[in-house]
Amino acid sequence: MKQDLNRHEITEKITPVIENTAVRFGLIPIEIEFVKENHRWFLRIFLYSKERDITLDDCENVTRSLGDFLDELIPVKYHLEVSSPGLERRFKSEKEFVIFKGRRISLKLKEPLKDETEKIFKGEILDYDTNEGLTFFRFDDGRELLIPKDNIHNARLYID
């Protein structure tokens, strides 16, 4: 018997449980992904902390705390993966510009800015507004730029 499953509904249902659990450990879930790959379901949770690096203990603590709750909310067998986002992770949502404020990023634009030819910059996130876009300090010339959010092709954390 094939079971119809709405992964978006499940993600909406489990997100508050994951967020509350992560917060208890001083962590932020920056991405929650429930996907089917090779006929298997995977729940991937990427954790972040502004104060420290994510450790294996952090991932274990969140995994153990979530196990029984998630089993009640997810009606299929799944594999749970809890990890840090990685050092040079590509941003997947606008909220990451807020979460990573003050961090260095590599930014690729859809179109060059006025009077510019380049579309790729390295710099620091100064601020992000969902209406205005990204306020960005560009390293190569020391300028502060306001980049409309609809001109951002992608961004990723940048490590020297």
**CATH 2.30.30.180 placement within the chain:** 95-157
Q: Which residues contact 71 (CB under 8 A, 6 or more apart)?
A: none
pLDDT greater than 50 at residue 2: no
Confidence tier at 3 by pLDDT (50, 70, 90): low
Distance CA 34, CA 79 (A): 10
pLDDT greater than 80 at residue 143: yes
The set of long-range contacts for 24-31, using a CB threshold of 8 Å and a minimum separation of 24, is 24/65, 25/58, 25/61, 25/62, 25/65, 26/51, 27/54, 27/58, 27/62, 28/99, 30/85, 30/92, 30/93, 30/95, 30/96, 30/99, 31/85, 31/92, 31/93
Average confidence (pLDDT) over 107-115: 90
Q: Domain 7-83, what fold?
A: GMP Synthetase; Chain A, domain 3 (3.30.300)
pLDDT in tens, 16-68: 999 999 999 999 999 999 999 999 999 999 999 988 889 999 999 999 999 88
Confidence tier at 118 by pLDDT (50, 70, 90): confident
Please give the pLDDT value at position 150.
93
Please give the pLDDT value at position 160.
72
For tokens 């940048």, the residue is: 158
| Predicted model pTM | 0.76
pLDDT greater than 60 at residue 142: yes
Q: Nearest 5°: phi and psi at 139?
A: -65, -40
**CATH 3.30.300.70 placement within the chain:** 7-83
Q: Which residues in 70-151 belong to E strands, given as ranges?
A: 78-83, 104-109, 120-129, 133-138, 144-147
Q: Specify whether domain 95-157 bears CATH 1.10.3720.10.
A: no
pLDDT in tens, 55-107: 999 999 999 999 889 999 999 999 999 999 877 778 888 888 998 899 899 99
